[in-house]
Structure 1
């Protein structure tokens, strides 16, 4: 979770505490039918309130007109941290559609991924395996086929002039057993073909390479305006200059350790041979 997000949540908690000034936390919990610990966590920024929580708080503290202000603060929080629990209520397809909008708005895109093949380069079978694993993790609606189709349609952008993709992956992603071996084999073949596209520059950081910074979570940079970072609990959508600068530095550092062209081909061939021997 980002420092900016934590600070914003703490600020919201402080505002909630101001509204409660005339009654005790225990009394408020009783009025709302909550535990006193929930009141405390919301006020100290250790728990994110829901929209319903904020309206109930405003009403119960005698400040119903503060509800709109609190909702605006919450929307500011969610613009940076988008929990998977909320995003996936309607399944994975809407999330894919939202990402497609950001791709369409961008001309120069950069990605880092250390644990799996990036979505933009996935085969349908590989994507199906990934969506299935995440649906199981988040207990989300299983709109797997709709999500796969949405992801495959987005790959049409790889063949459009005027847009470039600079993708860097860790070699470990080539071996990650998130799908059956036959699916991974076809996926590696797909990457070999991608290297020849004039809109894509694919780099792979070898396992033994010296890196200027430890490889971290996967993220995309959309031009110089937005970074989307993927974590287990949420996506972080960051558009402030300081965050964008940090993630660009991270990407540059990892890209400097990557190999390209024929050297990347050799790493793919090594991973393919490993599968054949397994």
Structure 2
């Protein structure tokens, strides 16, 4: 969880505690009034649980200050805009998430991505994408709109061929070996990677296992122009648009790019991984 997010959650909790104290209520009294457990009140006040908008409205009414609901909601929105939980994003399935990302791709001229565990979405085959979405649907227990999500991802790939766009992808070799799908599907996926090398709009770098690294090949992220970074974690996505954060991720990306191989050398790494499948 990001430090900024946690600090904002703690600050909201302190404000909730302040409102409760102003209402002359103990935590137990407020819990009883709202029909909650006392532990929920405690977790919200100490920043160990993220309040929902309904929680905040109930809290304001419960402490006798319904007019505070708007203030509390504004506080929640201010840090939710940077941290987008998967639970909430996937309430309607994966396709709406894909549609939101397509808007960002269309807005952007230069797109940079670092992937350390799976093939970057813009280069996935439909069969590979289907296995990836299926895994995350099972993990998050979200609606199974897998076919719709795959179609949205594949349709977005048409942007790869738009003149004036630049896509600079770096992938760690581990993503080329991770068995997220059957060998035949992975073989076709690796063939797809080989096929995009040389596209006018695409620069594909592979960081091989034997490369010298200045930084560890940590979590994946995407940079849209120099205005937005999206970092994916298990519980949420972080959408970062503060200039200092964007600048930091640009430095990370450039450092990782310096360890990558391109062109013929990238082909060699892909071929090596292809042979490891045993399908040649």
Q: Is residue 197 of structure 1 aligned with residue 199 of structure 2?
A: yes
SS at match of 1:45: coil
Cα distance, 1:74 vs. partner? 1.1
Which residue pairs with 1:139 in the alignment? Answer: 141
- Which shifted more, 51-60 or 2-11? 2-11
5+ residue gaps, structure 2, are: none
Match of 1:187 among 180, 186, 189: 189
Match of 1:251 among 247, 250, 253: 253
Q: Are the equivalent residues in 1 in contact too, given 2:184–2:279 (CA < 8 A)?
A: no
Cα distance, 1:277 vs. partner? 6.1
TM-score, scaled relative to structure 1: 0.98
Instruction: Write out the 4+ residue segments of structure 1 that deviate beyond 2 Å after TM superposition.
Output: none
Q: Is residue 20 of structure 1 aligned with residue 20 of structure 2?
A: yes
Q: How many residues align?
A: 278
Which residue pairs with 1:210 in the alignment? Answer: 212
SS at match of 1:87: helix
SS at match of 2:215: coil
Match of 1:64 among 57, 63, 66: 66
Cα distance, 1:179 vs. partner? 0.5
Cα distance, 1:109 vs. partner? 0.6
TM-score, scaled relative to structure 2: 0.97
How far apart, in 1, do the equivalents of 2:63 and 2:210 lie? Answer: 59
How far apart, in 2, do the equivalents of 1:192 and 1:70 lie? Answer: 51
Cα distance, 1:25 vs. partner? 1.1
SS at match of 1:58: helix
Which residue pairs with 2:8 in the alignment? Answer: 8
SS at match of 2:278: helix
SS at match of 1:224: coil
Cα distance, 1:153 vs. partner? 0.7
Coordinate RMSD, CA, aligned: 1.0
Q: Are the equivalent residues in 1 in contact too, given 2:128–2:181 (CA < 8 A)?
A: yes
Q: Are the equivalent residues in 1 in contact too, given 2:187–2:279 (CA < 8 A)?
A: no
Which residue pairs with 2:172 in the alignment? Answer: 170
SS at match of 1:73: helix
Q: Is residue 233 of structure 1 aligned with residue 247 of structure 2?
A: no
How far apart, in 2, do the equivalents of 1:137 and 1:73 lie? Answer: 30
Q: Are the equivalent residues in 1 in contact too, given 2:183–2:279 (CA < 8 A)?
A: no
Which residue pairs with 1:78 in the alignment? Answer: 80
Which residue pairs with 1:224 in the alignment? Answer: 226
Cα distance, 1:243 vs. partner? 1.4
Cα distance, 1:276 vs. partner? 2.0
Match of 1:107 among 106, 109, 113: 109
How far apart, in 2, do the equivalents of 1:68 and 1:197 lie? Answer: 50
5+ residue gaps, structure 1, are: none
CA deviation vs aligned residue, 1:225-273 (integer Å, no higher than 9, x gap): 1000011111111111221122111111111100001100000010111
Q: Is residue 49 of structure 1 aligned with residue 28 of structure 2?
A: no
SS at match of 2:210: coil
Cα distance, 1:45 vs. partner? 0.9
